[in-house]
Amino acid sequence: MVSKGSWFEVWADDGLKPPYLLLVCPDPVETSKVAICDPKDGYRVIHCAENYDSIKLWLLEDEYTLVDGRMYIE
């Protein structure tokens, strides 16, 4: 379970040159959900799920890898 608060993760498709990055964070509309945002497309939400595990599986299926752990916003 993802705890509430201000956090984000960076995921990369490092098979591409340069790597394609996506951000995982609480959904901006429904904070109980988790969203994947595309920074190259104005941080548009490209996928949303009820929980972190679903988001993680979605990213791993597309061969994204987590970059350096979770970051917290202070």
Domain membership of residue 27 as a residue range: 6-39
Which one has a higher pLDDT value, 6 or 49?
A: 49
Say yes or no to pLDDT of 45 above 70: yes
Q: CA 41, CA 25: separation in Å to the nearest integer?
A: 16
Query: Could you tell me if 38 and 54 are in contact, meaning their C-beta atoms sit under 8 angstroms apart?
Result: no
- Is residue 22 in a domain? yes
Non-local CB neighbours of 35 within 8 Å, separated by 6+ positions = 24, 25, 26, 27, 28, 45, 47, 48, 49, 55
Q: What is the pTM of this model?
A: 0.82
Q: What is the mean pLDDT of the chain?
A: 87
- Is residue 58 in a domain? no
- Is residue 18 in a domain? yes
